[in-house]
Structure 1
Amino acid sequence: ALSYFGTDQSQVARYLSGKTLTESRLGLMFNGLLKIPMQFIILFIGVMVFVFYQFNQSPLFFNESAVAQVYANPENKEKFQSIETAYAKIFEEKRDKVETLALSEDDTEIERLKEDIKNIEQEEEKLRDEAKSVIQSTNPNLETNDTDYVFISFVMQYLPAGIIGLLLAVIFSAAMSSTASELNALASTTIIDIYKRNIKKDGSEKHYLVASKLFTLFWGLVAVSFATFAGLLDNLIQAVNILGSIFYGTILGIFLVGFFIKKIGGDAVFIGALIAQAIVLYFHFYTDLAYLWFNVVGCGAVIIISWFIEIIKNRNS
């Protein structure tokens, strides 16, 4: 949280847009107060959809376009429909046990029902795997990971038409707003910290404006490339958090050294940051350390390594 709210360019840009120090502090405070409830609401929606499908039958496979291709193949259609029939029968049994569990007050019965439900869910998973095999045999190029279709399937099947349109408008507007701020932040950082300082030091304002638009286009292409790769992952939220954890710790360490340890020079911090980033990447690729710890590792490594480098540098001089 400290890494994101304190050092992320998109957040820092909001603080700098404040007219006074008080406005910037209020922006930081409201950002923190609203961010945590918002994340809770997002995750709570997923939990509620899960609960909904405990009492209402979910599709055997949520990607309707893939199912339509299976139905277009007469042989595979028959196989898929037989799996759907077995799936519906198992769900009815599961729903009865879930309803009984919700009303039961007997601890022994509760434990027995939990075990029964767990066994039924294992059978459901086997049927889903069989369905995915049928889909793959229909078209090997079809994606069998339907996780990203769960919520949109729920929306399209159970929400009124007007609410669906409003929800899509909200999703697109939020995505466009967030993307625009991130791309502008990246372009501004690239222009000020790299291009203007090292490549074109005496350019006109018009030149820098054109360059910023080109850098915005460049970072947009990078974002599209990452989005294409991230679509292959099981959990997009986790992918974003992993990517942030790899770099946020190092950035936070640089900021902490700059604010609180004045005697450490820029060269030592730069070298320390490179080494710390290499350490974080090693932990990511070659160990089982949970990704949230990368922030601690990166931040601590920057401070400790840059401190030692500064001590060695002073002794040699």
Structure 2
Amino acid sequence: MSGIDWLILLLTLGFIVGYGVWKTRAVTTAHEYIKGDEKTPWWAIGLSVMATQASAITFLSTPGQAYFSGMGFVQFYFGLPLAIVIICLIFIPLYKKLKVYTAYEYLESRFDKKTRVLTAVLFLIQRGLATGITIYAPSIVLSVVLGWPLVWLNICVGVLVIIYTVSGGTKAVTVTQKQQMAVIFAGMFAAFFIIYTSLPNDMNLYKAFCLAKANDKINLINTSFDLKNRYTIWTGLIGGTFLMLSYFGTDQSQVQRYLSSKSIRESQLGLLFNALLKVPMQFFILFVGVMVFVFYQFNTAPLSFNPQAEKAVMDSSQAAAYVTLKNEKESLELAKQKIYKSYHNYDDNEGLADQLQALNFKLQKNKEASITLIDMVAPEVESNDKDYVFIHFILHHLPKGLIGLLLAVILSAAMSSTASELNALATTTVVDLYQPNVSQPKKGTQLMNLTKLTTLIWGIIAIAVACIAPLFDNLIQLVNIIGSIFYGNILGIFLIAFFFKKITSNAVFIGALLTQFIVMGVYFSDILPFLWLNLLGCVLVILLAAILSNFKKK
């Protein structure tokens, strides 16, 4: 990285942290620290909700997901608008009417203390794990850039977030997320522009789209009923709706964002604002990944986007075999380029796709062989390079200055989501676990200081999780898998509270425990794709609680 890149990166991050601390220096009450004094306008809520969900994983993993698998991942978000409408009509009015600090407070008034505590604990487990991943993701970026050990980078990123989150609580999270979203939008649009202008002179946007389609990258809709397919329109509309209902309706990291609003209407407008922008934003980020794929159809791409993996295998006894695979890949790519030259506009997608099919199949086998080779000689190095695609493009093909801006985008996203999560974890721990179970609950400044201390503790835990977190198939999938294992159960508990007034508290408590064990068993047995776990958990806890409640009455 050049000096100008370092300057842009450090100034951007320094401004965000400094602004967050300075803007919230006057926070003196627990109410203001936890709920932002309920003065946040709707547009700030919308940006805060979006920034909380759009972690660094979104900007690292999503382009890589599109590069290798196309845009089918966008179907994951198809259930979001429907879920937001339901939350606006049912969840928000109830939360604001009860004047709760957390979503789980309501469960004690409807059921009992143990059900409230169980639900809060389920949230703390899944969100604590996910927060560690959101710290780990940007550490990968800096590891590639600086060559520093991941452990130290996890600590640096985590400490950076802890500083202003501990300082100003919910208010600090909200005021900094506006700047972070501005950096994110500016950086991604700049990246798209640079990619487009770097394509061959005769390549317009329509031709790029047709070329990507011929390579099966514009696979927006999959109507298959095959449960082995992770991303179909059905998993998005059904499983995705239940996941989004639970995430935006019961996850404290999101609930706390709109509980800081002036009124019910402000909360509703903020969430609807997010619903209108989120799917287009994800579509755009995926399309950036597709454009990176188009770029590498005319420029040399590495066999592995992870430089550590490539270095490990080139330093081993299998270097010659790896070079052979690289040469084979280059020959296949040259063959593809000859096919591209035979088409003037790429309008004949079917004819072009037919010619590319055999070559793409060989390229896939070539990729699999390289992964096998890396795993054989260096099993400790990550051979799956989806999360390295976008950062490789940034470092090797963007002009000076823009590299620093894009790294600031990724780190800003990490800071925004991690800050929201630490804020929510601390609030839930204090409000739902500590306060109801002590003889003399904290009040005023004591409560605020306790929440600050708990935020610090959760920050340390998140850093520890980040330090032991291995790369999964894809980071963005890992976060959603963790959520899907717990979210359906949590959502089911809330739906029982809202709509099934005759089901007893003990039945819900036992049903929730049984459901959690069953869902985890189904996931580890690989019976269902992870998105369907949201529906399974929700339906299962309702059925078990209803059966147990009816059995007790008889």
Bin for the TM-score computed over the shorter chain: 0.7 to 0.9
Does 2:367 correspond to 1:125?
yes
Matched position secondary structure for 1:58: coil
Tell me the residue number matched to 1:220: 459
Matched position secondary structure for 2:401: helix
Distance across 1 between alignment mates of 2:551 and 2:324: 73
Distance across 1 between alignment mates of 2:519 and 2:324: 49
In structure 2, runs of 5+ residues without a counterpart are 1-243
CA distances 1:113-158 after superposition (whole Å, capped 9, x unpaired): 133323431453266347637xx64x66443333322111111111
- The answer to whether the 8 A contact 2:325-2:366 is kept is no
> Which amino acid in structure 1 is aligned with residue 436 of structure 2?
R
Shift of 1:228: 4.0
Matched position secondary structure for 1:161: coil
Distance across 2 between alignment mates of 1:82 and 1:106: 31
Quick one: structure 1 residues 297 and 119, their matched pair in 2 at CA, closer, same or farther if it must change by over 3 Å?
closer
Shift of 1:184: 0.5
Distance across 2 between alignment mates of 1:292 and 1:95: 38
Tell me the residue number matched to 1:115: 357
Tell me the residue number matched to 2:548: 309
Does 2:521 correspond to 1:282?
yes
Does 2:301 correspond to 1:58?
yes
Tell me the residue number matched to 2:249: 6
Distance across 1 between alignment mates of 2:525 and 2:319: 44
Shift of 1:309: 2.1
Does 2:261 correspond to 1:18?
yes
Tell me the residue number matched to 1:245: 484
- The answer to whether the 8 A contact 1:61-1:131 is kept is no
CA distances 1:29-49 after superposition (whole Å, capped 9, x unpaired): 112222222222222222222
- The answer to whether the 8 A contact 1:98-1:117 is kept is no
Tell me the residue number matched to 1:37: 280
Shift of 1:178: 1.3
Shift of 1:229: 4.8
| Aligned residues between the structures | 310
Tell me the residue number matched to 1:181: 420
CA distances 1:280-304 after superposition (whole Å, capped 9, x unpaired): 1121122421111111111112222
Quick one: structure 1 residues 122 and 145, their matched pair in 2 at CA, closer, same or farther if it must change by over 3 Å?
closer
Shift of 1:214: 3.1
Tell me the residue number matched to 1:168: 407
Shift of 1:252: 0.9
- The answer to whether the 8 A contact 1:71-1:77 is kept is yes
CA distances 1:174-219 after superposition (whole Å, capped 9, x unpaired): 2112111111111101101101111464335444333323322332
Quick one: structure 1 residues 95 and 126, their matched pair in 2 at CA, closer, same or farther if it must change by over 3 Å?
farther
Distance across 1 between alignment mates of 2:256 and 2:349: 56
Matched position secondary structure for 1:263: coil
Quick one: structure 1 residues 99 and 227, their matched pair in 2 at CA, closer, same or farther if it must change by over 3 Å?
farther
Shift of 1:67: 4.1
Of 281-290 and 113-122, more deviation after overlay is shown by 113-122
Matched position secondary structure for 1:17: coil
- The answer to whether the 8 A contact 1:60-1:131 is kept is no
> Which amino acid in structure 2 is aligned with residue 270 of structure 1?
F
Tell me the residue number matched to 1:47: 290
Distance across 2 between alignment mates of 1:203 and 1:167: 43
CA distances 1:229-278 after superposition (whole Å, capped 9, x unpaired): 54421201111111111111111111111112222232222222112212
> Which amino acid in structure 1 is aligned with residue 545 of structure 2?
S
> Which amino acid in structure 2 is aligned with residue 114 of structure 1?
L
Quick one: structure 1 residues 267 and 252, their matched pair in 2 at CA, closer, same or farther if it must change by over 3 Å?
same
Distance across 1 between alignment mates of 2:354 and 2:265: 58
Matched position secondary structure for 1:274: helix
Higher Cα radius of gyration: 1
- The answer to whether the 8 A contact 1:251-1:299 is kept is yes
Quick one: structure 1 residues 40 and 225, their matched pair in 2 at CA, closer, same or farther if it must change by over 3 Å?
farther
Quick one: structure 1 residues 130 and 106, their matched pair in 2 at CA, closer, same or farther if it must change by over 3 Å?
closer
> Which amino acid in structure 2 is aligned with residue 269 of structure 1?
V
Quick one: structure 1 residues 22 and 68, their matched pair in 2 at CA, closer, same or farther if it must change by over 3 Å?
same
CA distances 1:160-187 after superposition (whole Å, capped 9, x unpaired): 1111111112221221121111111111
Tell me the residue number matched to 1:28: 271
Distance across 1 between alignment mates of 2:334 and 2:257: 52
Tell me the residue number matched to 2:336: 94
Distance across 1 between alignment mates of 2:491 and 2:368: 45
Q: 2:450 aligns with which of 207, 211, 217?
A: 211
Higher RCO (CA-CA < 8 Å; seq separation 6+): 2
Distance across 1 between alignment mates of 2:518 and 2:407: 42
Of 259-268 and 223-232, more deviation after overlay is shown by 223-232
> Which amino acid in structure 1 is aligned with residue 478 of structure 2?
A
Distance across 2 between alignment mates of 1:294 and 1:114: 36
Distance across 2 between alignment mates of 1:81 and 1:37: 41
Query: When the two structures are superposed, what TM-score results if normalisation uses the length of structure 1?
Result: 0.85
Shift of 1:62: 2.0
> Which amino acid in structure 2 is aligned with residue 147 of structure 1?
K
> Which amino acid in structure 1 is aligned with residue 263 of structure 2?
T
Of 284-293 and 226-235, more deviation after overlay is shown by 226-235
Tell me the residue number matched to 2:235: none
Quick one: structure 1 residues 304 and 71, their matched pair in 2 at CA, closer, same or farther if it must change by over 3 Å?
closer
Quick one: structure 1 residues 204 and 153, their matched pair in 2 at CA, closer, same or farther if it must change by over 3 Å?
same
- Over aligned residue pairs, what C-alpha RMSD do you find? 2.8
